[in-house]
Structure 1
């Protein structure tokens, strides 16, 4: 495990703390992929979490109790997407959304935001044997497109596509294959 990896035990403890504070958290990113697969397939430098904006105060309380109470500035930070950290190894990439009528969610600014189905965040999986809510497989694949794939993307996307019978997007051939 690399120096900046978040172990599964930390992820489970943070998710349980959020749950104890009534925060409706959904795991995304690499940990979301591994949750869907039911096993850890690689190291993860952070934990992506989707949360309703109305739960932000409870999330801050939960994470402050765990020592995850600092904002980790990134160039692309926005009020609906920023990183919290503990000053050592635990980094949480927050994605805040607003529920809309008709089972839809709004993510982003009022002017340029994205509206998508709440089903995108209705996946079920497990991390270290602990059940979690996570992104759906098709949403996770979609979130890995629209930019130049990184090695972690080329790792995650083929695994999801193979497991869930989804078409492999162009440019996502598994590592080591032309």
Structure 2
């Protein structure tokens, strides 16, 4: 019986290929970077779980954001915004309290948000960061002397959800102008 001998180079190349494939599979799997972080003070969830439940979670973030902007007190507004935003997104949202985002037709302190409807959300995940292109509608009630008005608006934004100090927060937020088309997300 003749013995087959494989050259050492062939064996090493095969071993290197197997190691590279296993490493690539591990690095691209959800478990490689899927650490869990608190979402809105609830149980910790991973980036994969956040992505899977984004249609339910993002409207709550947006509700808190819009509710904060309808407050009259700046300190309360800032503190509420900081529960769902961080860094540049927090500063942008706070600055927008008199701009487009606050223009839901709900006067400060006199309106109540009734519903936020997420119309669309395009998501790209990069590790523990979700880049989202979202369009949503806000509907609220404004009470005046003897009657109630229904007011609302449709908004679009590019935003990022990332872990900050153990919690998922909006870390980047770029609101589109009314009627402006949102630019497609890229993986870069």
What's the TM-score once normalised by structure 2's chain length? Answer: 0.27
Flag the structure with larger Rg. 2
Higher relative contact order (CA 8 A, sep 6+): 1
